[in-house]
Structure 1
Amino acid sequence: MQWAPLRQAALGKCPVCRPDYMICRQRVITVAVHGTAGCERFSRAAPTHEKERKHTEVVPFINVYERSMCKVRETLVDIYQEYPDEVEYIFKPSCLPLMRCAGCCSDENFECVPTEWYNVTMQILRMKPHMSQLYVEKTFQQHSRCECRQKKEIKGKQEKKAKRGKGHKRKRKKIRHCEPCTETERRKHLFVQDPQTCKCSCKNTDSRCKTKQLELNERTCRCEKPRR
């Protein structure tokens, strides 16, 4: 097949074909065999570079701002973070989807913190290396409401500066330092403490203990056998 005569003939029949395209030779052959109809069919089958270009999507500012706000959102939390005293076990899954406060605040001196929360019990698989495995129920804290509040370290620095200043007649309110709910670290995970009132409450519930035919000990926050 002679290339030069076919090329000149096809250029007149197929305006889509231009010398600067790498696929021009294939189009010329298509025109020679199928005529102008072949040119149209080939043009539809082989999109040009302009059609192949993809426009990069730009997310509007309002959408970006709303997604980054301080609010309750699903967060993957490591089980060892919630139960650090059970590192000798292997958990499956190793992390859980919990509703937690997260996001950005308008001021760098503020942070996203929970103001309301509740407990949820989940069944997970607990194993020991080279030993048996067991399904256990673990209680985790979930957040239901969030606020942007001043960071504790920033607030502490401001309190110290106020004490050093002179001429202040009003006494600054003392920062509330809550005593731990328990003296032992091993039992720390059994309690939940309100940072505003320092009130301690049990993560375990009486109904959860009853499902195991046990009773909730409100002093130790453990599920124990009923006393006779």
Structure 2
Amino acid sequence: MYTNNPYAQGGWSNSANTHSVNDGTWGTLLPQAPTYGALPSSTSGTPPSTLTFYFTEFSPDLLNCVVVGPQSKVYYKVIPGPPGLTYVQKPDNSSILCIEWQQHPMIEVREIVPRQAVGQWMLPAADGKSRIFEVKGRRYVWTAENNFISLYSVYPSPSDLNARISNGKPGSIVLEITTNAISAGLLEVAIASVVLLKCGRNID
């Protein structure tokens, strides 16, 4: 039964699965953003700075590419798994999220978003331009405006801009995200959102 677990095939730890290819060390992380300590953080009392990530080297599209961040380092890889699966991995090949492409696509973001239907987690708003979701008890909204898809906090402050997605030069997509948003654990969610919102597939 467990040998057919798509998460195990992608390097996801499963104590009940003796065939898991993950060494299980993910669980040793403290309950902080998965990138805690790997990226610069903002200083209390100062305006949040912004970090930029580029989805590039499409082969042939967004579902097989690399994500380049500060200092031109590769921070993530978006890769195809077994048929119907897409993983996002760190350079050490540990998976941070999995998307199952089916009639109603499923998503899981490690330790942040439990496995569920994308359309249930990222709810489309009535205006057809926004999607509302929740992370760690806080609500956020992606909304299309001008040439961006912008991420705002819904609560406590509806005016906080956390991130935005835009088209870069041909063959690239740009994610700009504040260090405050990264500290709040939104980087992996934003990476997942780029894949979902810009892949051109139905996600409901």
TM-score, normalized by the shorter chain, greater than 0.5: no
Answer 1 or 2: which has greater strand percent. Answer: 2
TM-score (norm 2): 0.23
User: Of the two, which has the highest radius of gyration?
Assistant: 1
TM-score (norm 1): 0.21
Higher relative contact order at CA 8 Å, sep ≥6: structure 1 or structure 2?
2
